[in-house]
Structure 1
Amino acid sequence: MSERVEIGSIYVDSGTVFVGDPCYTITGDASNHIKTWSEWCAKAPFGQEPYDVTEPAGTGHGLSIPTLYGDGGYPVYAELEGGRVARVIIDFAPESDGEDE
């Protein structure tokens, strides 16, 4: 059985989060570095992919995932198994948690 704990928050100003290995995209010498925000947006267009999830750095190099409500702060949780992170959950609708219960 896993244990769920809050591990932090992320703050969003682009309406999206990126999940990927930074060695592929972050630094100037990264193999799939995206140099400008304009280049990023051109590679991550809205309304063209299922759920608007895109792979702007290339297949398998990370996912650009839009949030439910756009910009803001979102809590991040980890599900732990044996003291290690098994899953990460970003809650894009924290104010609605528990309303339907």
Structure 2
Amino acid sequence: MTEWSEIGKVWVDSGQIAIADPCYLLSRKEYQETFVKNYQKQPHEFKRGVVTNGWGGDGNFPVLVKKNKDGLITEMRIILDRGSPEYRGVTE
């Protein structure tokens, strides 16, 4: 079985995390005009990715991946539980 390895951290200042293709990310103006008005009440309806909230707010969270025998990423995890032994948040 392949081990989980940390590839970085996701920094959160809006209490939300989006997973999407970078070509679909919005400019600040588009975010305010589109996302805040249309998706904030039902964040799971973001049609070109996934937006989630409800884990306790802002901070930074480790992103872990597993790779197959060819070195391709097959799974990704974001550790949101600060009490988890896998959580290694940076304090700033």
TM range (shorter): 0.7 to 0.9
TM-score normalised by length of structure 1: 0.69
Output aligned runs, 1:17-56, within 5 Å: 17-23=17-23, 25-26=24-25, 35-46=30-41, 48=42, 53-56=43-46
CA contact (8 A) 1:79 1:86 kept: yes
Q: Which runs of 5+ in 2 are unaligned?
A: 86-92
In structure 1, distance between residues paired with 2:20 and 2:61: 18
Match of 2:49 in 1: 62
CA-CA distance at 1:67 after TM superposition: 4.9
RMSD: 2.2
Give, as a single letter, the amino acid of the residue that structure 2 aligns with 1:42: K
CA-CA distance at 1:37 after TM superposition: 1.9
Q: Percent of counterpart pairs with the same letter?
A: 27
Q: Which runs of 5+ in 1 are unaligned?
A: 29-33
TM-score normalised by length of structure 2: 0.74
